[in-house]
Amino acid sequence: MSSAADKLIVALDFPNASQALALVDQLEGRCRWFKVGLELYISAGNHVVLELKKRHFGVFLDLKLHDIPNTVAGAVRSVAGLGADLLTVHAGGGPAMLAAAAEAAAGLPQASRLLAVTVLTSMDAAQLAATGIAARPAEQALRLAKVAHESGIQGLVCSPEEAAQMRHELPGSILVTPGIRPVGASVGDQKRVATPAAALSAGADYLVVGRPITLAKDPVLAAEAILSEIAFVK
């Protein structure tokens, strides 16, 4: 399962570090990557990231930075000392912001690999239209991905529905896909989803899985089932 564990990122979407690290303890020896998002980061701050790195885990710091270019560049530099492996910025921030983030990261000896978030997996065409965007989610995601590439950011966060097109249009990208739901799992607030096998077959490099593991009666068994599915994808 070694190669499978390299592809699974477990989302630690918990309100505090104690709960998050309790799950990490349960999954240790099985999972190698964990995501720290806004809920946990606002509660636990840098401590939880540093603790995960101390334990030699890969850390996906999902802060979705979105502000004026100078502020985002400063945030990228501030995060550098934490040792997070992956860090997200919002592609919707535009080319100047994305370029500032890329330039800031390039000037650091231990910068996180930047990922540009395209269209959230909780958004469908109706949600996009409500924000004034008439394009389909796939069209908008690809448009933003190309802006990110042109601005110097090669990593992308997209739904599994867009992974195949991203892989074709932007070869060499690192593709991280949330919205992963095993067969029979609740979709929840996600709109554009796929099974682990389908997302990998479409070209995803990393799968982000939260509630199907964290809310499972037995998180270890749930993680092992996903790892087994990943292992069988050629």
Q: What is the pLDDT of residue 1?
A: 44
Q: Is 207 helix (H, G, I), strand (E, B) or coil?
A: strand
Helix (H) or strand (E) holding 65: strand 58-65
Per-residue pLDDT, averaged over 1-30, amounts to 92
**Contact (CB, 8 A) for 163 and 199:** yes
179 has a pLDDT exceeding 90: no
Q: What is the pLDDT of residue 192?
A: 61
Name all domains of the chain by residue range, CATH numbers in brackets.
2-231 (3.20.20.70)
- Cα–Cα distance, 13 to 11 (Å, whole number): 6
187 has a pLDDT exceeding 60: no
Residues 122-156: pLDDT tens digits? 888 999 999 999 999 999 999 999 999 999 999 99
224 has a pLDDT exceeding 60: yes
- Cα–Cα distance, 7 to 4 (Å, whole number): 5
184 has a pLDDT exceeding 90: no
Least trusted range by pLDDT, from 35-44, 104-113, 167-176? 104-113
Share above pLDDT 70 across residues of the chain, in percent, rounded to a whole number: 94
Q: What is the pLDDT of residue 6?
A: 95
- Cα–Cα distance, 178 to 122 (Å, whole number): 10
User: Is 217 a known active-site residue?
Assistant: no
Q: What is the pLDDT of residue 193?
A: 65
Is pTM, for the whole model, over 0.85? yes
158 has a pLDDT exceeding 90: yes
Catalytic residue among 35, 64, 191, 217: 64
Residues 30-51: pLDDT tens digits? 999 999 999 999 999 999 999 9
Residues 83-95: pLDDT tens digits? 999 999 999 999 9
